[in-house]
Structure 1
């Protein structure tokens, strides 16, 4: 598979990317654990790039237990070890950064109420808590925190950061007409609701300009649709992607359970969403396609849709040496199923094993699962922030 060079000069040795894969295995304070280092170290070396699991940029942004932190300078030392493990044999290492917003709760936040653009409870899951509306000063603090997190990622040795604007987290919450009903400069019509994302991109880009002593990537991940009403629809996302195409980001990354998904809301629209995104970007930014990519043929099919790079998540959990085996013509030995008895051997942390056996059980191709794997072609995946079958 051919290399890929970004406009800022960073070259990936191939076009295969490991998408962010939550291990839920950080210490209580967000510091990196040896389990995380071992997990990523086992999967580096063959791929062109690994995008590490999400890290919160500020204490109010923590979304789940076992989550990485990049909110303090004290996090840099551990993150440096993680970056080193991810960069074996020339693999590039990007760290995803975020604020969970209303996708948290007062238990995770140690008694504090979750926050969001507006004081509107998420529909999914059903036990979501009503967030507190952020003040203007708090919004400014969060924007600054994204820049500070980018500085720390540079210091830790990563090759880039990815702003997590998908899966119903805070960046998406500010763009959504469901979760953002503000009347100040951070709310309003569709274009006005892009203001927070634009400010976060600018904050991260400024940090790169100021602190990076080498080419450093800035990516942005999106979820194309919401299923709530009101909510983000494809027309909204295409407008948002148009903005990204003219922004300082170096790439755009989708978040979907299937790379071939069509609209969740308009069943008469049979054009794959990825094809729409490729057309909207029109070559201005590279697009990373993702979703149920398992075989080399699957990867080629996504690239054939016009994406520049293709990412795998679940398959990289099952098969850490996927790229090496493909390069050696050894596809016959690739694990497309996961044996529960091999999870320790595959360096899958214990906390991650538990949730793979839970919410993701139906899509992990467990050798002990008698049912056919679930298909995300026409429904949202668990990581996308929904719990409703389509």
Structure 2
């Protein structure tokens, strides 16, 4: 390993005493590869195994905390006793080489797949043709507003999923409060139009995310697992008049830090993306969050476009995050950390080899198909040219 990469391999001890062996994390990546019951398939486990080496944190694909919260086909399930066995298989593979295995827990809310849950999507408010942005995909949705009973069920579902994660051997959970899913829908005035105790003011819009955080922390306490990590993923800003601003997000970060979460994970398309609305306009969002968390003992995970080891190192050396999460980089390079360890980091690819197939990339077929769908045609043409120049076949 080259000397310059050693900072990435420094251990980090969270505020609950649990230690990650280094500052590299695998970002939560949707793989569309669980079976129709949400249970692990051999292709999914092989994909996880191929990427388990060397990382400090391995965050799972989003796991549905209820049937009505399922957001995509092939999504892992974490809401029934029968799900524990598959969860345990995933955890064992993810942590087999020393990474801390983190189960990301999610409810799709308005973005849930109505074809899988009886034709109904539940959201903070009645949304008629509201546009929901989930990871850049804009969905037109119609929903039913959650009742008080429904909200309490959501809280219970996240808590029960956390219990399953503990029983299955995970080292922590990450609450998915980003990318336009239910927790973000409650937090945002764009999608939360309630006038009761769960909406209206910023404090009331934060109530569900914080109630869910309290509930999962209570599970950790009840099961006597103070070492169990609880993280929260959030989207810092939204476009539009009523969309989230950095002011809103920093207020939520304050509240989560006060509750003693172990980390905040900011969902970004670009690691250095700057704030556009509210506090710190023109300043990198991660920098604003890092400054807000200074001295509070809460780790910050940064992500966004870090496709190669050198890009990961540059991001970490910016001091805007305690961990750098790798997404596309680890999809294209299953041996991402090995390349660093063996001094071959220059061999890391930035784009998939479109002349090969899913098996070559050690990816499940559904994941490869989706990957190709998301790659812009211009990028594919560029990849074709590059591939020919490099002699890919």
TM-score, reference length from structure 1: 0.90
What do you get for the CA RMSD once the two structures are aligned? 2.2
Which of 339, 345, 348 is the equivalent residue of 1:325? 339
**Correspondence for 1:309:** 323
Q: Deviations over 1:273-301 (max 9, x none)?
A: 11111111123211001101123332233
Q: Compare the two structures and name the one with the higher helix fraction.
A: 2
Contact 1:56/1:62 (CA < 8 Å) preserved in 2? yes
- 2:120 is equivalent to residue 113 of structure 1: yes
- 2:233 is equivalent to residue 225 of structure 1: no
**1:305 and 1:100, CA in 2 relative to 1: closer, same or farther beyond 3 A?**
same
**1:52 and 1:366, CA in 2 relative to 1: closer, same or farther beyond 3 A?**
farther
- 2:303 is equivalent to residue 290 of structure 1: yes
Q: Deviations over 1:64-93 (max 9, x none)?
A: 111111010100001111111111221111
Residue segments in structure 2 that go unaligned for 5+ positions in a row? 1-8, 387-393
Runs of 4+ residues deviating >6 angstroms: 362-367
**Correspondence for 1:67:** 75
**Correspondence for 1:387:** none
Write the distance in 1 (CA, Å) between the matches of 2:341 and 2:376: 29
**Correspondence for 2:160:** 148
Secondary structure of the residue aligned to 2:206 is helix
Secondary structure of the residue aligned to 1:258 is coil
**Correspondence for 1:23:** 31
Which of 140, 157, 180 is the equivalent residue of 2:192? 180
Write the distance in 2 (CA, Å) between the matches of 1:152 and 1:126: 32
**Correspondence for 1:354:** 369
Write the distance in 1 (CA, Å) between the matches of 2:126 and 2:144: 5
- Cα displacement (A) at 1:61: 0.6
**1:126 and 1:348, CA in 2 relative to 1: closer, same or farther beyond 3 A?**
closer
- Cα displacement (A) at 1:41: 0.7
**Correspondence for 1:382:** none
- Cα displacement (A) at 1:271: 1.0
Secondary structure of the residue aligned to 2:174 is strand
TM-score, reference length from structure 2: 0.89
- Cα displacement (A) at 1:231: 1.1
**Correspondence for 1:381:** none
Q: Deviations over 1:290-320 (max 9, x none)?
A: 1011233322332223311110101000011
Secondary structure of the residue aligned to 1:294 is coil
Contact 1:337/1:367 (CA < 8 Å) preserved in 2? no
**Correspondence for 2:3:** none
- Cα displacement (A) at 1:214: 6.5
Which of 92, 103, 109 is the equivalent residue of 1:84? 92
**1:366 and 1:349, CA in 2 relative to 1: closer, same or farther beyond 3 A?**
farther
Secondary structure of the residue aligned to 1:310 is strand
Name whichever of 112-121 and 359-368 sits farther off. 359-368
- 2:176 is equivalent to residue 164 of structure 1: yes
**Correspondence for 2:146:** 134
In the alignment of these two chains, the number of paired residues is 371
- Cα displacement (A) at 1:113: 1.0
Contact 1:338/1:366 (CA < 8 Å) preserved in 2? no
Write the distance in 1 (CA, Å) between the matches of 2:257 and 2:84: 31
**1:126 and 1:14, CA in 2 relative to 1: closer, same or farther beyond 3 A?**
closer
Write the distance in 1 (CA, Å) between the matches of 2:384 and 2:258: 46
**1:172 and 1:259, CA in 2 relative to 1: closer, same or farther beyond 3 A?**
same
Write the distance in 1 (CA, Å) between the matches of 2:299 and 2:28: 18
Secondary structure of the residue aligned to 1:238 is helix
Secondary structure of the residue aligned to 1:348 is coil
Secondary structure of the residue aligned to 2:292 is helix
**1:212 and 1:77, CA in 2 relative to 1: closer, same or farther beyond 3 A?**
farther
- 2:260 is equivalent to residue 248 of structure 1: yes
**1:44 and 1:214, CA in 2 relative to 1: closer, same or farther beyond 3 A?**
farther
Which of 347, 355, 360 is the equivalent residue of 1:345? 360
